[in-house]
Structure 1
Amino acid sequence: AHCVSQWGHNFRPSYLKIKDLIQRIGNPVVAAFTATANERVQKDIITLLGLSQCRLF
């Protein structure tokens, strides 16, 4: 999941469209996994994927 935050802005701008895809297909259950995200990157992932009601583990 950290690739959305780290690469989405420059290297893979299409990653920034994932939120739109999630919404278009009816807001499915979404799981995003990473072992390297600090708090800033976690917040970025939540925003970019539209995960307003998520649980962090």
Structure 2
Amino acid sequence: MGQESREAGRELCIYGPDDEVGELIGNILSEEDMAYSRLVNIEKIETDDGVAILYWLPDNRLS
């Protein structure tokens, strides 16, 4: 993801529970000076929006 997505003009979003994994991902992205937003409702994202989504789910399924 990273540099290639920024050059392609994609927005980076993260989606997952507010847990240790989410905190770790947020810290890493911040340290790398990468702008991102946290999604609350993944269903509102359209596939052609130019959005790269990083997600993690402890039980391996979308809610």
Q: TM-score range by the shorter chain?
A: 0.3 to 0.5
Bigger helix share: 1
Say which one has the larger Rg.
2
Q: So what's the TM-score if we normalise by structure 2?
A: 0.35
Bigger strand share: 2
Q: So what's the TM-score if we normalise by structure 1?
A: 0.37
